[in-house]
Chain A
Amino acid sequence: MKALIIDLSRNNEIKILNTKISSTVQIISGYYLSYRAEDDPLRVVSEKLQNENLSDIPAYIIPPGDLVEKHIFQLPKMPDKEIKKVLPRQIAESKDTSDVMVINYMKNGIVEDRQGEKQEISAFFCAKDKMFDFLNRLKAEGIQPLKIVPEAQGLKTLIEINPQLHSERSGVVLLDLMASRINLNIYRDIYWGLERDFLFRMEAGENLDDEDFTRISTELNRTFQYFKQRNRSYTIENVLVYGSSPDIEHLKNLINDNLPVPASVVTTDFFKGRITLPQHLKDSGEFISIFTLAISTAIAVSTKKYLDVFPTEFKEKSRVFSRVLGLTISAIIIAVILIVSTFYFQDIKKSYDEDIKQIQKTFSSMSTNAAIIDNTKRERVNFYKRRYFIDFPGQYSFSAANFVRTLGLISPPHIELKELEITPGSQTFHFVLTGRIKAENNTDAQVKFLEFFQSLKEFEEILRVDSSNVNVNAGDEKDLNISQDTKHPEKALQKAQLFFTFNGEVEIR
C-alpha cells in the first residue's frame, strides 16, 4: 500500500516520506521542507504534494507537538475497558478542562509506590474539536489523513527494533538536533518517560560553537538530573542523535567527550532489514538522520500495532454527506421508478377501461338483437314444451293401455299375471309386473319363466327389463295345485310354481 508519512512534529520543518508499506517499508522518496513562522505548514505540504503529484496518496500524520499532548498516569490495575472509562476523567482532572478528548494510550508496565503496585499508562490525547479542526484543515488542503500517529510511537519503534538500545532499568535519550533547537525524549526501556524541547541559540544556520555546546551540555545535564530524580532506578545508558542539523556528528563527538553517556548517530544500520532504500538515498548520509522519526513511524504502521489518535467519528462524520447524498439519490431513483410504474399501471388500467367501455357500447347495441334471439329461443323451447304437454297425456295413456294389451297377448295360459303397476316418467314409464308360473317341476317353471322373460325383452318398446324376487315353490301349499284329482290329471301335474317380479322401463310413443 502506498502511503505518505508526513512529519509535522517540529516547528519550522516538515518531512514527507513517500513509501510503499507492506511487511517491510519501501522508501520511494523523501522531502524535507522548512518554512517560516508566518507560513501555514499545511499549505506548504499541500503545495509540495501537488508539485510531486502525491495528493492522491493517503497519509499517516505525525501531529505537531502542541496538538497531541502526552501524560503519564499511574492507575490501579484494571482491564482495558475500565482504563478507557477512567482516562477521560483523569485527563480532565490533570488538565482542568471539560473538553471532550480523543484519547489513546500505551501501557508502560507495573510500578511500585507507597500505596503498592500500580499500572503506568502513557496517555496521548487531544481535544476533539481541536483535532477535528486540524483534520478539516488537512482535508481542505487536499491532504488525505489516514491515521494520526503520535511522535512517541515512532521513537518507541526505533528503540524496539534495536535490542542493543533497551534493557530493563535502562534509559535511552533520543536527541533531535535542529538548527537552533533540540528536542529531547528519554525512554525508560521502550516506554516514553520525559520530553524536553529547548533553544540553544537564537539564530539558525551556523555550525555549533563552544557557546552552543555549553548551553546544550548544561540543559542536557539538568534534564538528566531531573530524569534521575523522577526515575531513581533508571540509568541513562545511550544517547541517539538525529535531526536535520548538519552538526549531528559534531554534537555526538562533544557528548562522547564531555558527558558520561555514549552517544551515537542514527544510521541505516538501525533499520536493517526493515526498510529498503533507493541507491541515491543510501548514498546520502543525511537522509536517515533527517527522516529518523518518519522512517520509524513507517515501520510502526507496517506492524499494524501502533498508536492512533484519529477520531473514528470524523470519518463517519465526513461520510455523512456522501451517505445522505447516496440515500437521497436512491430515494429519488426509487421515487421515480414508483411514479413511473404508477403512471404505467394507471395507463394500462385506463387503456383497459376504454377498451371495456368501447366493447360494452358495441355489445349493448347488439343486445337488442340478443334479447330477440333469447326470446325466440325461449319461445321455441316453450313451444316444444307445450307440444309435449299437449301430446303427453294421450301418448302415455295409449302406450300404457297398449302395453297392458300386449302383455295379455304374449303371456301364455300357464302364466298368471297378478298385478301391473305403471308410473310415468318424462318420455318413458316404469312398470312393476308380478305374476306366477305353474309347471310340472322347477326346471319346467324356470324354462317357462325364461321364455316369458325373453319374449318381454323382445317387446320393441321395452327399453329395459330385469327380474327380481323370483321364488320357486315359495307359495302357499293350497295354491300349489298338488292334488290327487284323477278327474283332472292335467291339474295334478302342476306340482311347481314360480313367483316373479319384473321391473322395467317402456318408451312412450
Chain B
Amino acid sequence: MKNKYILIKLLGVASLIAVVILYFIVYFVPSVKTISHKKLQLKDLNLKIKDFVKTETKFAFSNDEERRLFRNTEHDLMEKIPVIRSKEDFIRLITRVSNYIRQLAEKDGVMNLVISSESSEMKLNAGTLSSDSQSFQELLAFSTSRLARMQHNDFSPGMKQGAPKPRSGLFALQENIECHTVTLSFSGPMRSSMNFINHIPWGPFYLTQDKMVVAEGPGFPYCIVFLKIYYVSLKPTTPAGSPQ
C-alpha cells in the first residue's frame, strides 16, 4: 500500500518533469534557434544597409560621357569580330583572314609562309609566298615535325579544336563568341618576321596570337605562331568548333 502511494507521488513528479522536458524539446530549443536565426538575419540586413549607405555616399554614378565610353569600347571590340551565320560565312572569314595574313607577310618581307588548320572541317594550306622551293620545303619539314612534337606533348591549345571552350575571358564577356585557331609557320629575316608578328593584330580582324615558337633555321629563323580568329556564331556549332 505504501509503495502505491510512493509510486503515485513519483508518477506525479515524473509527469511534471516530463512536461517540462517536452516543452524544452518541442518549443524552447526550436524557439531559441529561430530567435538566434532571426537575430543573425537582422544583423545581416543591418550590415547590408550600413554597407550600402557607405557605398552609396562614396559611389560616383555613371554620367553620359562614361556611358559613351562604355559603348565606344564595346563597339571597338565588336566591330573587328564578324558575325558568322553559316559555313560559307565561316569559310569566307578564314579566306579573308588568310589573304590578309599573306598580304601582310609579303608586305613585311616574310619569305615563306604556311597557314594551316588542324580542324577536320577546315583543312587549310594557304598558298605560299613566292620563294625558293628548297627553303619552303625546309620550313614545311621543320613546322611539321615541331607541330607533331607539340601535339604529342599536348602543348598546343590550337590543336585541340574539339575540346569544349571554357566560358571565361572574352567568351564569358560576350555571348556566342567562338574562335578558330590556325597555325602560321613562316621564315624570313628576323626583323621581317618580328614586324610580321607585331603587325598581325593591326588588321581589320580580331586576331590574337597564342603560343609562339622561334627556332634557329639554316638561313633565317623559323617561326610558328598559333593564331586565334574570333567570330560571333549565330548558328549551332559542330563539335569541331566551326559553324555548319
Q: Which residue numbers of A lie inside 8 Å of B, CB to CB?
A: 312-313, 316-317, 319-320, 323, 327, 330-331, 334, 338, 341-342, 345, 348-349, 352-353, 355-356, 359-360, 362-363, 366, 369-370, 372-373, 376, 379, 382-383, 385-387, 389-390, 392-394, 396-398, 400-402, 404-405, 408, 416-424
Q: A334-B20, A416-B216 are in contact. Are A359 and B45 (CB under 8 A)?
A: yes
Asked whether A338 lies within 8 Å of B20 as measured between CB atoms, the reply is yes
Contacts of A327 in B (CB 8 A): 12-13, 16
Contacts of B202 in A (CB 8 A): 394
Asked whether B45 lies within 8 Å of A417 as measured between CB atoms, the reply is no
- Among B48-56, B94-102, B131-139, B234-242, the one that faces the other chain is B48-56
Q: Which residue numbers of B lie inside 8 Å of A, CB to CB?
A: 1-2, 5, 8-9, 12-13, 16, 19-20, 23, 27-28, 31-32, 34-35, 38-39, 41-42, 45-46, 48-49, 52-53, 55-56, 59, 61-62, 69-70, 73-74, 76-77, 169-170, 173, 190-191, 194-195, 197-198, 200-202, 206-216
Task: Kindly identify which residue among A352, A360, A386, A408 contacts B35, using a CB–CB cutoff of 8 Å.
Answer: A352
Asked whether B215 lies within 8 Å of A404 as measured between CB atoms, the reply is no
Asked whether B49 lies within 8 Å of A421 as measured between CB atoms, the reply is no
- Residues of B contacting A: mostly: helix
Q: Bound complex: CA of A370 vs CA of B53, how far in Å?
A: 10
Task: Kindly identify which residue among A387, A394, A422, A424 contacts B73, using a CB–CB cutoff of 8 Å.
Answer: A387
Asked whether B216 lies within 8 Å of A419 as measured between CB atoms, the reply is yes
Of the candidates A355, A359, A389, A424, the one having the most CB atoms from chain B within 10 angstroms of its own CB is: A389
Q: Bound complex: CA of A390 vs CA of B77, how far in Å?
A: 6
Asked whether B208 lies within 8 Å of A398 as measured between CB atoms, the reply is no
CB distance from B190 to the nearest CB of A (A): 6
- Closest Cβ neighbor of B172 among chain A residues: A385
Asked whether B211 lies within 8 Å of A421 as measured between CB atoms, the reply is yes
Q: A359-B42, A398-B198 are in contact. Are A421 and B16 (CB under 8 A)?
A: no
Contacts of A363 in B (CB 8 A): 45, 48-49, 52
Contacts of B20 in A (CB 8 A): 334, 338
Contacts of B41 in A (CB 8 A): 352, 356
Asked whether B1 lies within 8 Å of A316 as measured between CB atoms, the reply is yes
Contacts of A312 in B (CB 8 A): 1-2
Asked whether A383 lies within 8 Å of B73 as measured between CB atoms, the reply is yes
Asked whether B28 lies within 8 Å of A341 as measured between CB atoms, the reply is yes
Task: Kindly identify which residue among A319, A341, A366, A405 contacts B194, using a CB–CB cutoff of 8 Å.
Answer: A405
Q: Bound complex: CA of A370 vs CA of B56, how far in Å?
A: 8
Q: Bound complex: CA of A353 vs CA of B42, how far in Å?
A: 9
Q: A338-B20, A370-B52 are in contact. Are A349 and B34 (CB under 8 A)?
A: yes
Task: Kindly identify which residue among A330, A353, A356, A420 contacts B16, using a CB–CB cutoff of 8 Å.
Answer: A330
Contacts of A385 in B (CB 8 A): 173
Q: A349-B35, A400-B212, A421-B211 are in contact. Are A373 and B194 (CB under 8 A)?
A: no
Task: Kindly identify which residue among B32, B49, B209 contacts A396, using a CB–CB cutoff of 8 Å.
Answer: B209
Q: Bound complex: CA of A385 vs CA of B172, how far in Å?
A: 10
Q: Bound complex: CA of A372 vs CA of B56, how far in Å?
A: 10
Q: A341-B28, A422-B213, A423-B211 are in contact. List 10 more A-B contacts (CB 8 A).
A: A330-B16, A345-B35, A349-B38, A359-B46, A362-B49, A366-B56, A369-B56, A382-B70, A386-B77, A396-B209
Asked whether A401 lies within 8 Å of B198 as measured between CB atoms, the reply is yes
Q: A316-B5, A334-B20, A401-B197 are in contact. Are A419 and B38 (CB under 8 A)?
A: no
Contacts of B197 in A (CB 8 A): 397, 400-401, 404
Contacts of B31 in A (CB 8 A): 345, 349
Which 10 A/B pairs are nearest by Cβ-Cβ distance? Answer: A393-B201, A352-B38, A401-B194, A316-B5, A419-B215, A313-B1, A327-B12, A393-B208, A422-B212, A345-B31
Asked whether A319 lies within 8 Å of B212 as measured between CB atoms, the reply is no
Task: Kindly identify which residue among B34, B35, B52, B190 contacts A404, using a CB–CB cutoff of 8 Å.
Answer: B190
Asked whether B213 lies within 8 Å of A420 as measured between CB atoms, the reply is yes
Q: Bound complex: CA of A393 vs CA of B173, how far in Å?
A: 16
Q: Bound complex: CA of A369 vs CA of B59, how far in Å?
A: 11
18 contacts between A and B (CB under 8 A): A327-B16, A334-B16, A334-B20, A341-B28, A355-B42, A359-B45, A359-B46, A370-B52, A373-B59, A382-B70, A390-B76, A393-B200, A394-B202, A400-B209, A400-B212, A421-B212, A423-B211, A424-B210
Asked whether B216 lies within 8 Å of A418 as measured between CB atoms, the reply is yes
CB distance from B73 to the nearest CB of A (A): 5
- Closest Cβ neighbor of B74 among chain A residues: A386
Asked whether B213 lies within 8 Å of A419 as measured between CB atoms, the reply is yes
Asked whether B49 lies within 8 Å of A366 as measured between CB atoms, the reply is yes
Q: Bound complex: CA of A317 vs CA of B4, how far in Å?
A: 11
Task: Kindly identify which residue among B8, B173, B214 contacts A382, using a CB–CB cutoff of 8 Å.
Answer: B173
Q: Bound complex: CA of A392 vs CA of B170, how far in Å?
A: 11
